[in-house]
Amino acid sequence: MTSDGGIQIPSRLPLLLTHEGVLLPGSTVRFSVDSPRNMHLVSQRLLRGTSLKSTIIGVIPNTRDPEHDTDDLPTLHKRIYSLVALQSNTGRWTLTFNWQCPGPVWLLCSKILCLHLLCLTLTSYVSLSLCRIGTAGIAVQVVGSNWPKPHYTLLITGLCRFSVSSLLKERPFVLAEVEQLDKLDQYTIPATESVAAEDGELGELSQKFYQAAVQLLGMLDMSVPVVAKFRRLLDSLPRETLPDVVASMIRTSNKEKLQVLDAVSLEERFKKALPMLTKQIEGLKLLQKTRKISPDNEKRVTNICISPLPLNVCVHTPFNLDGDDEDEDGDDTAVLERKVHGANMPEAALRVCLKELKRLKKMPQSMPEYALTRNYLDLMVELPWSKSTKDCLDIRAARTLLDNDHYAMDKLKRRVLEYLAVRQLKTTLKGPILCFVGPPGVGKTSVGRSIARTLGREFHRIALGGVCDQSDIRGHRRTYVGSMPGRIINGLKTVGVNNPVFLLDEVDKLGKSLQGDPAAALLEVLDPEQNHSFTDHYLNVAFDLSQVLFIATANTTATIPPALLDRMEVLQVPGYTQEEKVEIAHRHLIPNQLEQHGLTPQQLHIPQDTTQDIISRYTREAGVRSLERKIGAICRAVAVKVAEGHRATKTEALTPESQTQQGGELSVCVSVIGPKVQTIQRNVFMLV
């Protein structure tokens, strides 16, 4: 390979005919090979040869193998080809026609058609042998596969340009006599001794080109390994190799690459490649301007991949500087970053978010961790770190509202008003946590809701019945698959403010299991001294819960863990007396049920003594839930009658059977007792 003129490539080279990519000296390109001639070249030359020389081949770009093309020809064409044979046994081409035609005119037409097709097919071959410039390269990797059809994938690194002097043979693969056009020893000369030191136009051009390359690199993200490597190579590579190397790295079309390949003189090559480089720089500038992204995001390089390089030259699937696919992702992270800065979170949380964001930017989207980090950041920006509602507390209005919503419960209402009054005087009141204890249906939950309304705060109910996993309250660590934040943090995300009223319902029905004790996790939540720095395992940063108003409800204190009970102020809500229930029914339950069933008070009137009878005979409870259900049943029975179009006037003692039809509205006066009411209910179940 070595002669007095420096390193030489073999004078006879097997030729790879490609039509996909353009291999430039100093770059590495992957080619897929499936045409018969190219397949023979790989199997007979590359795979059989053992010397370095056997791995060097010539790559002729933009050329289809004519033999391969015949595979794709329509059947008619193939048949015609099978009838024609082109032979060159003696060095002279002979065309033989292998068929008999019915008449002389037919024969002439067919021969003209065949010759035309043959000429078309041979055109590419003739042009290949006479005028093309190619790149000699080393095949550094050969991979074969039978799927979807037999083919090889070659990884070839370009060495130097050559021109085809003459074609030696065309089968089984093309072999040609070539003339080397570039010096190969330029890679062994130190950069300082190369063209950079030259004066004149060439020296000036190379300097200009070098500066433009440095400018382009300055706009890219140095933390991307391939960019950093290219930065190093830019100084170590000889200047005359730069046009080829840079043209293969930046985004250029095959046509542009061919122009660079065809530029045999170095000066011309610089002239061809410089505008391409400038175009990239301008494009990148424009992109950065339109994106208006933050300084961290400005320097972005996308779509880069590295492959092994024998010549210590950087590899290049081009930088996708104007890649549309990446735009969306780029903007997405930029939007997320803006949200992180705008979420008004405490210093510690912000630091964690920025760190995660930095990791996210470097992660490919296909990585499972990408989705996890993304979800985490989404939650962090959605949490109401400093968003709160303004309390509109007026004790008189609160008293009226509580009285309007609930009858009786005087002790409970008094304590709630005391609590609200102290809050009005001292807004930063810490604790106490109120815990309403009483039998089912006595209005504990609904008082909690009323308190939220009087304060003008958001209300959120957390049902704790049956919860036996500590991570339900505190969340899972992010290392777990399917990890989630706990119910407290989820609730805050739902209400969107940091000072809601949280009703911890059924706190006495918390369970215990191997997954830990949720009651223990609640200790931190409910302790006014600690809950300003509540740390959910999923968030892993403290969230201030001191503004949240916690109210707990329970049916009994017996099953509440003592440590938890100790943190709460227990307010007993005893059951109601019969008279209280009658009042509750007439003030709240009946109007509610009428509204729910679309009835008016004129359509259904239930006298007090009927209510009393329902309470004493058909409900046995401390609360009023069952009573509410019975009233609902009566409403449904009447609703059916109204819907059927019955019109009745008021009657005194009425069973469903005794409703009269005397014009006016259907007015059912249920003043009957015992069995008759039962009749109504039976009808209800029959009708509904």
Ligand X SMILES: Nc1ncnc2c1ncn2[C@@H]1O[C@H](COP(=O)(O)OP(=O)(O)OP(=O)(O)O)[C@@H](O)[C@H]1O
CB of 363 to ligand X, least distance (A): 46
d(CA 235, CA 242): 10
For ligand X, which is the closer residue by CB, 195 or 615? 615
The backbone torsions φ and ψ at residue 36, rounded to the nearest 5 degrees and listed phi first, read -55, -45
Q: Print the binding letters for residues 560-599 with ligand X: x by CB under 6 A, - otherwise.
A: ------------------------x---x-----------
d(CA 357, CA 333): 8
CB of 377 to ligand X, least distance (A): 37
410-416 long-range Cβ contacts below 8 angstroms, 24+ apart: 411/571, 411/572, 412/436, 412/447, 412/571, 412/573, 413/447, 415/571, 416/447, 416/451
Contacting ligand X within 526-565 (CB under 6 A): 553, 555
* Sole binder of ligand X in the list 12, 415, 625, 629 (CB under 6 A): 625
d(CA 531, CA 521): 11
DSSP class of 14:
E
d(CA 518, CA 490): 16
CB of 527 to ligand X, least distance (A): 24
CB of 330 to ligand X, least distance (A): 51
- Residue 437: is it exposed, middle or buried by C-beta count within 10 angstroms (0-12/13-18/19+)? buried
Q: Which stretch binds ligand X (CB under 6 A): 316-324, 435-443, 521-529, 629-637?
A: 435-443
- Alpha-carbon radius of gyration of the chain: 44
**220 near ligand X, rule: CB under 6 A:** no
d(CA 69, CA 67): 5
Q: Which stretch binds ligand X (CB under 6 A): 81-89, 109-117, 455-463, 617-625?
A: 617-625
**409 near ligand X, rule: CB under 6 A:** yes
For ligand X, which is the closer residue by CB, 39 or 455? 455
**249 near ligand X, rule: CB under 6 A:** no
**502 near ligand X, rule: CB under 6 A:** no
* Sole binder of ligand X in the list 195, 321, 408, 420 (CB under 6 A): 408
- Both tokens assigned to 313: 């030259």
**441 near ligand X, rule: CB under 6 A:** yes
* Sole binder of ligand X in the list 446, 494, 515, 577 (CB under 6 A): 446
For ligand X, which is the closer residue by CB, 407 or 550? 407
DSSP class of 541:
S
Number of Cβ within a 10 Å radius of residue 259: 18
For ligand X, which is the closer residue by CB, 269 or 444? 444
HSE at residue 305, side-chain half, CA atoms within 13 A, is: 7
CB of 543 to ligand X, least distance (A): 28
d(CA 31, CA 20): 8
| Cβ 248 vs Cβ 257: under 8 Å | yes
d(CA 32, CA 153): 5
| Cβ 13 vs Cβ 56: under 8 Å | yes
| Cβ 33 vs Cβ 40: under 8 Å | no
CB of 510 to ligand X, least distance (A): 15
CB of 427 to ligand X, least distance (A): 28
d(CA 688, CA 678): 15
For ligand X, which is the closer residue by CB, 312 or 446? 446
Q: Which stretch binds ligand X (CB under 6 A): 114-122, 149-157, 411-419, 437-445?
A: 437-445
**442 near ligand X, rule: CB under 6 A:** yes
* Count of residues of this chain found to bind ligand X when the rule CB under 6 A is applied: 20
* Sole binder of ligand X in the list 445, 619, 626, 678 (CB under 6 A): 445
**209 near ligand X, rule: CB under 6 A:** no
For ligand X, which is the closer residue by CB, 136 or 522? 522
Q: Computed from CA positions of residues 585, 586, 592, 595, in that sequence, does the dihedral angle turn out positive or negative?
A: positive
d(CA 230, CA 373): 31
**675 near ligand X, rule: CB under 6 A:** no
Q: Print the binding letters for residues 358-397 with ligand X: x by CB under 6 A, - otherwise.
A: ----------------------------------------
CB of 618 to ligand X, least distance (A): 16
CB of 355 to ligand X, least distance (A): 44
CB of 384 to ligand X, least distance (A): 27
Contacting ligand X within 626-655 (CB under 6 A): 628
| Cβ 480 vs Cβ 523: under 8 Å | no
* Sole binder of ligand X in the list 361, 444, 567, 641 (CB under 6 A): 444
- Both tokens assigned to 560: 């509440």
For ligand X, which is the closer residue by CB, 245 or 416? 416
CB of 491 to ligand X, least distance (A): 18
Q: Which stretch binds ligand X (CB under 6 A): 259-267, 436-444, 653-661, 669-677?
A: 436-444
For ligand X, which is the closer residue by CB, 246 or 554? 554
* Sole binder of ligand X in the list 416, 545, 624, 668 (CB under 6 A): 624
d(CA 570, CA 525): 17
For ligand X, which is the closer residue by CB, 283 or 632? 632
| Cβ 182 vs Cβ 262: under 8 Å | no
Cis link prior to 574 (omega < 30° from 0)? no
The residue at minimum Cβ distance from ligand X is: 443
Q: Which stretch binds ligand X (CB under 6 A): 196-204, 316-324, 440-448, 635-643?
A: 440-448
| Cβ 400 vs Cβ 355: under 8 Å | no
Of residues 202, 275, 214, 212, the one with CA closest to residue 240: 202
- Which residue's entry shows tokens 């049920």? 593
Q: Is 163 helix (H, G, I), strand (E, B) or coil?
A: strand
For ligand X, which is the closer residue by CB, 277 or 398? 398
| Cβ 406 vs Cβ 413: under 8 Å | yes
CB of 669 to ligand X, least distance (A): 24
| Percent helix, strand and coil across the chain, each to the nearest 5 | 50, 15, 35
Chain residues that interact with ligand X, rule: CB under 6 A: 406-409, 438, 440-446, 553, 555, 584, 588, 623-625, 628
